[in-house]
Amino acid sequence: MPTTIHPSAIVDEGAQLGEDCRVWHFVHISAGARIGARCSFGQNVFVGNDVTIGDNVRIQNNVSVYDAVTLEDDVFCGPSMVFTNVYNPRAAVSRKAEYRRTRVGCGATLGANCTIVCGTTIGRHAFIGAGAVVNRDVPDFALMVGVPARQIGWMSRHGERLALPLTGDAEADCPATGERYVLRAGVCSLAGA
């Protein structure tokens, strides 16, 4: 399938977009961006030069993906969520050489209006609740809420809450798919993976 780009969008020469992407109203994708297949960019999205985006990523309206951000496959960025790339910005001080890299793992969800402070890694299939402020690394499958974000549980690949404690050893099935998840020494993983 060919990529669809709305006439009001700007895709700078040199940007790489995979097949079957949807680029909606007033989007700006910078020349250095590297984007996989089957991605969707909602109204008023900005994508910087030093950005890598995997396949099947959904970026909702009013999100800016700044330089030094990597989104792996199947990431969901909710409306108006925020990435940063400078930890201590000042208008009068140029800190472009100090950008801190941010990585969002495969299948992660970043809820509406959440903020991801630069230099963090969001684990695979993690779920960041709406409005949360993430200022430290997030484990795979972790459910994070609040300001600053704190872990309150675990989520399946399907986006269902798992009946697991935060720490220790336990096992639970995804209520939607029946997939088995294993918690060992506070690390959650899909059984057999």
Phi, psi (rounded to 5 degrees) for 96: -60, -25
Tokens of 93: 């001080």
Give 126-148 pLDDT, tens digit per residue.
999 999 999 999 999 999 999 99
Residue 1 banded pLDDT, cuts 50, 70, 90: confident
Segment holding 158, helix H or strand E: none
Nearest to 101 by CA among 88, 119, 127: 119
pLDDT at 179 over 90: yes
Q: Are 132 and 147 in contact (CB under 8 A)?
A: yes
Q: Which residue in the block uniquely carries the two structure tokens 């402020």?
A: 133
At 177, the amino acid letter reads: T
Q: What is the largest CA-CA distance in the chain?
A: 54
Which segments within 102-169 are labelled E, that is strand?
102-104, 109-110, 115-116, 121-122, 127-128, 133-134, 142-145, 150-155, 161-162
Q: Which residues are CB-contacts of 138 (< 8 A; sequence separation ≥ 6)? A: 120, 121, 122, 123, 126, 128, 144, 149, 151
Q: At 193, is the pLDDT very low, low, confident or very high (cuts 50, 70, 90)?
A: confident
Digit-coded pLDDT (tens) for 38-65? 999 999 999 999 999 999 999 999 999 9
pTM for this predicted structure: 0.96
